[in-house]
Amino acid sequence: MSTKNRYQLQVQVKPRYLADQSDPAQGLYFFAYVVTIRNTGSVAAQLISRSWSINDANGYIEKVKGLGVVGNQPFLQPGEAFEYASSTRLRTPTGTMHGSYFCVAEDGERFDVDVPMFVLDALSESGGSHTLH
């Protein structure tokens, strides 16, 4: 089995605009997002830290780094999933997020999981989900 298949997490993100917490007149747009992380590899692994880039439509970029996700460093056996909810604020009605998770497998292998860009859009009613690898 290849190394890639041994150490693999699948990430699904479901963003949602929070109109009741936003104030467009003040340039404040709040978004919630639910992230599901599933170990699709063959080796148990622990998510150690996260790194996000949050971009608004004006080109402002906010970098967020920290240990774990919402106070957790989930240890996922093959096939297991961990879901968490978080939120962010933009100064524009649309923007994007992307990032990565740093993980350590049970056998000591260190690896990163990229979270490709997804859209935050206050103008869209869809609030669709994005499955990312």
Quote the tokens at residue 71: 């106070």
**What's this model's pTM, rounded to 2 decimal places?**
0.88
In 3D space, the residue among 45, 35, 49 whose CA is nearest the CA of residue 9 turns out to be 45
What are the DSSP calls for 67-107, one per residue? Answer: ESBTTB--EE-TT-EEEEEEEEEESSSEEEEEEEEEEEETT
Cβ neighbours of residue 114 under 8 Å, at least 6 residues apart?
98, 99, 100, 132
Domains within the chain, CATH numbers bracketed: 3-123 (2.60.40.1470)
Express each pLDDT in 26-85 by its tens digit: 999 999 999 999 999 999 999 999 999 999 999 999 999 999 999 999 999 999 999 999
Place of tokens 């997804």: 118
The closest of 114, 116, 112, 113 to 96, measured between CA atoms, is 116
